[in-house]
Amino acid sequence: MAAKASSPGVFITFEGGEGVGKSTQILLLARRLEAMGYRPLCLREPGGTPIGEAIRAVLLNPANTALDITAELLLYEAARAQLVSEVIKPALAQGGIVLCDRFTDSTLVYQGIARGLGLEAVRRANQIGSQGLTPDRTIVLVNDPEVALSRAARDGADRLEAEGLSFHRQVYAGFEQLAAAEPQRVRLVAANEGKAETADKVFSQLADLFPQAAARDFTITDDLLEQVKRERG
């Protein structure tokens, strides 16, 4: 089901540092859209395809401390290229709504800024990996980096979560930099309140993409929050 006239589908990405609640908010948005009659597709980066999930295992394995930062960038782009060609572009061509946990903005911030590879070099790599695809809207969830990181690493840190707090503060600042540069596409949403309150703020930044459905009431119940928690694992 198309939600806007300018393209057959709608591509929404969620960004932010570790532990800010992206996966929860994606699922809550998906349930809201389903209640409105849409059928959103939820994806994650890296991942979303068998090849992408295999690359994800390499990238997040905390044992891979010797991974070169340029090799890291190219692995992200390889997983992205597979996801775009195999899943995202076909879904959008059919008028679908795609919700993705991370996309090119994460690579700009993590590899371009925090890793120091430079924004221009990463933009060139992103252009290849994304095959020129740009999200219609990007939600950046923000919270105190120390609080969010401790939450993310509660059950053991992956390779990126294990980076020091100074690295993750650079990530936080990098997302703010991108939002300031592209305010029409990139929207900052504070994620330091309850999940339901955050979900309402998220949708307020997306409602113009779904004008016929935006006025419909949707209540996030405790049962729905528990269901989403189970889905997240």
**Domains of the chain, first to last:** 12-228 (3.40.50.300)
Cis ω for the linkage preceding 40 (within 30 of 0): no
Q: What is the C-alpha separation between 3 and 10, in angstroms, rounded?
A: 7
Quote the CA–CA distance of 137 and 189 in Å, as a whole number.
Answer: 13
Instruction: Kindly report the pTM of this predicted structure.
Output: 0.90
Residue with tokens 């219609």: 136
Residue 215 predicted with pLDDT over 60: no
pLDDT digits (tens, 9 = 90+) for 185-200: 999 999 888 899 999 9
- Band (pLDDT 50/70/90 cuts) for residue 7 is low
Q: Which residue has the higher pLDDT, 11 or 226?
A: 11
Q: How many C-beta neighbours within 10 Å does residue 121 have?
A: 13
Sign of CA dihedral 13, 15, 19, 21: negative
* Average pLDDT of the residues in 151-161: 73
How many C-beta atoms surround the C-beta of residue 106 within 10 A? 27
